[in-house]
Each structure stands twice: as C-alpha cells, then as structure tokens.
Amino acid sequence: MRAYHANKRREAARKASIWRRREHRKAQEQKRAMCAVALILGLLLPLGLGIAMPNGNAEHAYATQPQSDRQCEALCGWPVLDPRIEREFEKPAKRWLSGHRGIDLTAQAGTVIVAPQAGIIRFAGKVAEKDVVSMRHSNGVISTFEPATTTLTVGAAVTQGQFIGTVGGASDHCTGQCLHWGLKRGEDDYLDPQRYAGNQKIVLKPL
C-alpha cells in the first residue's frame, strides 16, 4: 500500500514537471514572437519615416522628425545640426516674472543656423545691444535667435532647413558660446522649442 502511494506521488510529480516544462516552452515561444514583432516594427518604422521626409529636404533631414504631436505639424526642426541643450525652457509663472523664454543650444560662433520651419525673416539687428535674428513662421509662431546675424533681408522667404544666419555677436544667455532660441505665439505666449522640435536625442550638458 505504501509502495502504491509512493508510485502515485512520483507519477504526480512527473506530470507536474512535464506541465511546467510545457508552460515554460509556451512562454518562451510567446516571448520570441513578441521580439520578432518588435524587430519588424523597429525595421519598418525608420523606413516609414524615411518615406515621410519631404523631397528636396534630404540634406537637412535632421530638421524633420516624426509628427507625433499634432501641434508639431508645422514646426518640426532644430535650428542647428547637432542640438545640445545647455539651458532648458522655464516658463515664467507670470508674464512679468523672470524665467527662461527659450532654450540655449551649445553652438560655437560661426555655427550655421537653419530655419526650423518655413517662414520669412522678420527682424535682423540689435535689441538692447544683443544681436538678434527672428523669423515668422507660416503658422504665425515667431522664432528668435541670439546671438545671431544674417545677410538675409527682412521679408526674405525661407524654407525649412534653409540657411538663415550664423551664431555670433553679443548675448547674455550663456557664459560660453551658445544659441538662444525663443519661440513665441502672439504677444507673449512663450513656447518650449524643445517640444516643437521633435524627439531627436538631446544630451543635456552637465551643470
């Protein structure tokens, strides 16, 4: 009788072991299937994005990115080739309070600035001794760059990714060399350019 029970227990243990192995195999297969789907998506996604890039803008491909944010539809580029943020946007709590009405991008004097979106040159000159270039985009949003100079004249139309000026001149935004990029809708609705310029990988400089 004892032997009978021992056999029963062994049999039950064997069945449980087979069941566990089967479940494990099933889980492994599911995992492999998920990985395959992820891999296929990973391969297809960049292809799709490549196709989505506007023709004739390939040389400034960096100025275009996936349009996941509806607000980003009309303004989806960075003004410099290798954007690294030195100081982030800090929206003032009140209109009259201080903050940082834009972002500061690492940029040496002479760095080329390109239009983050199509528009027209709105201003080029000095504001409070600072060298400023600003442009009005077709959606009415205004980009302001400083320190920046341009040879383009006010009213000149530029397309996205087109050269609009170079970094240089006077500014109090960085101790080193940088480009301040401000983005404004209306009179004083300051926007975070980083949100509008897409999801390209940005490295924040250590403080």
Binding residues for Zn ion, rule: CB under 5 A, are: 104, 173, 180
Considering beta carbons, is residue 54 or 99 the nearer one to Zn ion? 99
Residue 68 vs residues 49, 72, 75, 120: alpha-carbon distances, Å:
11, 7, 12, 25
Shortest distance in whole angstroms from residue 66 CB to Zn ion: 27
Considering beta carbons, is residue 135 or 183 the nearer one to Zn ion? 183
Considering beta carbons, is residue 103 or 135 the nearer one to Zn ion? 103
Tokens 């449980």 correspond to: 16
The burial class, CB within 10 Å (0-12 / 13-18 / 19+), for 61 is: middle
Shortest distance in whole angstroms from residue 100 CB to Zn ion: 6
Shortest distance in whole angstroms from residue 129 CB to Zn ion: 16
* Element at 5 (helix H, strand E): helix 2-52
Q: How many CB atoms lie within 10 A of CB 16?
A: 10
Cα(44)–Cα(58) distance, integer angstroms: 19
Considering beta carbons, is residue 55 or 98 the nearer one to Zn ion? 98
Shortest distance in whole angstroms from residue 172 CB to Zn ion: 9
Considering beta carbons, is residue 87 or 136 the nearer one to Zn ion? 87
* Element at 10 (helix H, strand E): helix 2-52
The burial class, CB within 10 Å (0-12 / 13-18 / 19+), for 162 is: middle
Shortest distance in whole angstroms from residue 98 CB to Zn ion: 12
